[in-house]
Structure 1
Amino acid sequence: MNKRVCIIYTGGTIGMVPTRDGYQPKEGYFSGELEKIRDLYSDAMPKWDLIEYDPLLDSSNITYVQWNRMANTIKENYERYDGFVILHGTDTMAYSASALSFMLEGLKKPVIFTGSQIPLYELRSDGRDNLITSLMIAANSDIHEVCLYFGNHLIRGNRAVKTSADGLIAFSSPNYPVLAKAGIDIEYFPNRFLPEPKEPFRVTEMKPTSIGVIKLFPGIHFDLFAPIVNKDLQALVLETFGTGNIPNYDSELPPLISKAIENDTAVVVCTQCMQGTVRLGTYETSSELARAGAASGSNMTTEATVTKLQYLFSKGFTANEVRDWVESDLRGELTIG
């Protein structure tokens, strides 16, 4: 195999070691662990190089700064490699995969996020298989998008949700079928892939963006959240019940939403349900959101919604433009119709 893949190691459980304070990444340790995996040097594997970040991070500490670094690492090495594998902690992997799916415009090569639930040095680590299979997938020239591989499933990056804190099948794709399954062979489903883009490859860096997320629950008092709805808030994501329903036992929420929109805050409605889509106006309890001018998050994950909003504001769009764009399918993150 003549393909070349770049491994970008950002940190995460896969390369951690035990310390008195719990698992932590250790500088320079991971490359030595890779040398012990002889299958990585098989003729059936693509050639690969390792870029190790400094500092290595637990993914709980990932921010837009690291997203920009990952995107620019790919940009700087884009012509040298056929694909990229990003090793990342699982806790925020779905956010990072979503973010890069938007940032990497005109992407014509596979970018595969993976990691592990058990450190690579452990006997039962899932990291070995996740890494080997991700490298093989990253050599597939038919894939032109950011994906997440974990537990034998290849998922579109901006459709992924972490659904298990300790299971080896840690991620799900609630509203879109998987792109591939790995068994005895890797079974691809090309009809589910994004088409190869026509525009040239470029990176849009993320900028600091003020985004709030409110998860509704029975008996919620919206007046508690009123202080965050000010002119500095650029976007507000509401995780609502069912198809976009909100409680109407008092009159607190509609004025809050109206105030947000008057302040040029983009308001986006998502659902708390793992599967299904937002349909504003289907029930009386969601009609007020539609009348107030909130946008529908359709069947996007919260991870995709938050990172998409940050991307759109980073592009320089106004709040009104963002409300229009957020309902459009940019990278396969939502289903139209």
Structure 2
Amino acid sequence: MAKRIYVAYTGGTIGMKPTDSGYAPGDNLMALLSEKLPADVMKSLPEFELFEYEQLIDSSNIRPDNWKQIASDIAARYEDYDGFVVLHGTDTMAYSCSMMSFMLQNLNKPVIFTGSQIPLCEARTDGLENFVGALSVATDDRIKEVCLYFNGRLMRGNRSRKLNAYWFDAFDSPNYPWLGRADIHIELNEQLLWQSQGKETFLLDCDSDPHVLPLCLFPGITAQWLETAFQQPYSAFILRTYGTGNGPDQDQELLKVLTDASAKGKVIVNQTQCHRGTVRQGSYAAGSALARTGMVSGYDATPEALFCKLHHLFSMGMSPKQVREQIGINLCGELSQ
């Protein structure tokens, strides 16, 4: 029996059209695909149904409510289709992939995100290859997770990052190998694919207001600056530190601010500023000092995955203590443990 794929068009560059202010989301994507793909090529593609969201967005405008819409959309149609493709803007695609992996756990069908760097309306668009490639991998029964397909690379969604604004190789997976590669044939690294831990679990709670504030250490950062940040109405803070999770351990005032914030129930997660690597808070004295303040390690999770995991956990109603415990648990392939 032929596979049926559901395609959710949420907006993004792939369907954009030129305006006086630059590219902006455009509607009627199916007509554009039919114009670009000859009829015989269209017939050779997996059977798909394209649903165009009423409010198309540039992904720079993504909000948690959009994540709830996408996850709920897939959950409502889960039994009716064999796989899912989400057409999404590239700027925040890694966030949305990550969030879907937490909201749609233990999948037994593929959910594939893709988009383009150049719109379909342009001659040199990369959108056709990305669309056709995503459709193809969305029919593969071996894939049971949220993935990102782009420029021939298949990556775990919650391991992916947008690393280049100008290359077709826009995305990579810094701390985890690619799941597959599309050349003449589509080759999967089957041993790397996520194996579902049980029955599908759709956790669709996603609060409208963010719970997480990312912060970044910088040379000369002061305790007063950090204290002001911790006064903001957020439940969790991602502190991007140096190297393997190090910070200014000689600044006792700053360490006290961190300690006091943790004692007051703020969840502070230690994440490296490095593109690749993991946090090991005990590798250096400068990291051990941060661990003693109550900070918890974010290990090798991407900034996008960590942000979404924290938002997801607090949206589920967990206490700060429960969230701290869950940060080190590999829920859906976001950590190397």
Q: What band does the TM-score fall into relative to the shorter chain?
A: over 0.9
Return the offset for 1:282. 1.1
Q: Which residue of 2 aligns with 1:49?
A: 49
Structure-to-structure mapping, 1:244-283, within 5 angstroms: 244-283=245-284
CA distance in 1, matches of 2:56, 2:92: 14
Mapped pair 1:334 → 2:335? yes
Distance 1:136 1:259, change over 3 A: same
Return the offset for 1:68. 0.3
> Is the partner of 1:184 in helix, strand or coil?
coil
Of 241-250 and 45-54, deviating more is 241-250
Alignment gaps of 5+ in structure 2: none
Q: Which residue of 2 aligns with 1:86?
A: 86
CA distance in 2, matches of 1:288, 1:322: 21
Q: Which residue of 2 aligns with 1:170?
A: 170
TM-score for both structures, normalised by structure 2: 0.96
**Percent same amino acid among aligned pairs?**
44
Answer whether contact 1:108 1:197 (CA < 8 A) is retained. no
CA distance in 2, matches of 1:117, 1:197: 35
CA distance in 2, matches of 1:290, 1:127: 45
Q: Which residue of 2 aligns with 1:32?
A: 31
Mapped pair 1:322 → 2:323? yes
Q: Deviations over 1:148-169 (max 9, x none)?
A: 0111100000000110011100
Q: Which amino acid aligns with 1:142?
A: R
CA distance in 1, matches of 2:146, 2:249: 40
Answer whether contact 1:108 1:201 (CA < 8 A) is retained. no
CA distance in 2, matches of 1:192, 1:153: 14
Q: Deviations over 1:102-146 (max 9, x none)?
A: 000221110000000000111110000000000000011111100
TM-score for both structures, normalised by structure 1: 0.96
Answer whether contact 1:240 1:246 (CA < 8 A) is retained. yes
Structure-to-structure mapping, 1:296-315, within 5 angstroms: 296-315=297-316
Q: Which residue of 1 aligns with 2:200?
A: 200
> Is the partner of 1:148 in helix, strand or coil?
strand
CA distance in 2, matches of 1:34, 1:101: 28
Q: Which amino acid aligns with 1:243?
A: T
CA distance in 1, matches of 2:273, 2:229: 21
Structure-to-structure mapping, 1:1-337, within 5 angstroms: 2-28=2-28, 30-36=29-35, 37-38=37-38, 41-43=42-44, 45-207=45-207, 208-230=209-231, 232-336=233-337
Q: Which amino acid aligns with 2:229?
A: I
CA distance in 1, matches of 2:69, 2:309: 18
Q: Which amino acid aligns with 1:161?
A: R
Distance 1:200 1:250, change over 3 A: closer
Q: Which amino acid aligns with 2:203?
A: V
Return the offset for 1:231. 7.7
Superposed CA RMSD in Å reads: 1.4
CA distance in 1, matches of 2:152, 2:103: 26
Count the aligned residue pairs: 334
Answer whether contact 2:15 2:27 (CA < 8 A) is retained. no
Answer whether contact 1:209 1:313 (CA < 8 A) is retained. no
CA distance in 2, matches of 1:67, 1:236: 21
Answer whether contact 2:242 2:273 (CA < 8 A) is retained. yes
Q: Deviations over 1:227-273 (max 9, x none)?
A: 23138320010111110000234223212211221221111101111
Answer whether contact 2:211 2:310 (CA < 8 A) is retained. no
Return the offset for 1:199. 2.2
CA distance in 2, matches of 1:98, 1:255: 33
> Is the partner of 2:80 in helix, strand or coil?
coil
CA distance in 2, matches of 1:251, 1:168: 46
Answer whether contact 1:75 1:203 (CA < 8 A) is retained. no
CA distance in 2, matches of 1:196, 1:173: 21
Return the offset for 1:35. 1.2
Return the offset for 1:209. 3.4
Q: Deviations over 1:158-196 (max 9, x none)?
A: 000110011100011011000000101111111000113
Return the offset for 1:288. 1.4
Alignment gaps of 5+ in structure 1: none
